[in-house]
Amino acid sequence: MFKEKNIHPMLLSEIPFNFSDDYLYEIKFDGIRAIIYVSPKSITIKSRNNTDLTHLFPELSGIKDLVTKNTIFDGEIVLLEKGKPEFSSLQKRLRIKNKDKINTESINNPVTFVVFDILYLNKSLINKKLIQRKKILDKFKDTEYFVKSKTFSDGKNLFKSIQNLGLEGIVAKEKTSLYYPNTRTKEWIKLKNIKQDYFYIGGIIKNKMSYSLLLGEFHNNKLYYVGKIKVNNKSDILNKVLKEKNTSNNFVNYSGYGNFIKPKFKIKINYLEKTKGNMLRHPFM
């Protein structure tokens, strides 16, 4: 069917960036990167690491009806709730193994494939410029399960908009970029919408070569665990925490191990978002 059946997607770099007219800008959707190999008779969905996901998302089988030739798409599988990607719900879909439950979820909580590139149309397109590939991609119609990623020329205003909406970030792609499988280049750059907040330290865990701080926040005078973060062994905050007397567990929703302290220290944490369970995703200092 395809000469190229095991493509690993082109990767995004995270480097300092100045907005430029040489780039196109797209919303960065919080989902699962996927390469879809499709013909009028078959479809195969592969993850970034080349894991076959086809059986998990039967609702995407209709993409076969959109093509007349062997085609390879690159994009993001997202699960939208109230118009926004909900990654934790998508993760639940990934863990389902029962075929009947998979089919039920495909109806009750369907995913959408947000497609932003086309790599093959009866022949390889990876040596064509991005703007040329986008023109080819534009010929495919949007459906409820297959939606083309919209491009913008004004990256600054797009980034301000996604900050206001609380979305993950944007991607800047050089208009003339070719497609380099499994490679990070300065031609595709991600700009994350990083959030900041202060959280209490309610305990500490000793790892083999480092420490992790247990983080929490108060609701109705009760301390709720929101996640943990590794700290440098020489950090000032670690030295302060290690000098504190141990107490009983102050978290109302954490039953794991650790050395607990009175929650009096607050530290500023960067993070991508909070999950539905109020846990921090990708926290860092």
Q: State the average pLDDT for the chain.
A: 94
pLDDT single digits (tens) 241-257: 999 999 999 999 999 99
At 2 the pLDDT is: 52
Q: What is the pLDDT of residues 61-80, one digit of tens each?
A: 999 999 999 999 999 999 99
Q: What would the pLDDT profile of 181-210 be if each residue is shown by its tens digit?
A: 999 999 999 999 999 999 999 999 998 888
Does residue 275 register a pLDDT over 50? yes
Q: Which CATH number fits domain 11-192: 3.40.190.290, 3.30.470.30, 3.20.20.10, 3.30.70.600?
A: 3.30.470.30
pTM: 0.82
202 vs 235, higher pLDDT:
202
Q: Kindly state the average pLDDT of the residues 207-221.
A: 93
Q: Which residue has the higher pLDDT, 180 or 275?
A: 180
Instruction: Provide the pLDDT for residue 166.
Output: 87
Confidence of residue 1 (pLDDT cuts 50, 70, 90): very low
Residue burial 194-207, b: 16+ Cβ < 10 Å; e: rest: ebeeebbbbbbeee
Q: What is the pLDDT of residue 235?
A: 86
pLDDT for the residue 233: 83
Q: Would the pLDDT of 5 be above 80?
A: no
> Residue 258 pLDDT > 60, yes or no?
yes
Structure confidence by residue, pLDDT tens digits, 152-173: 999 999 999 999 998 999 999 9
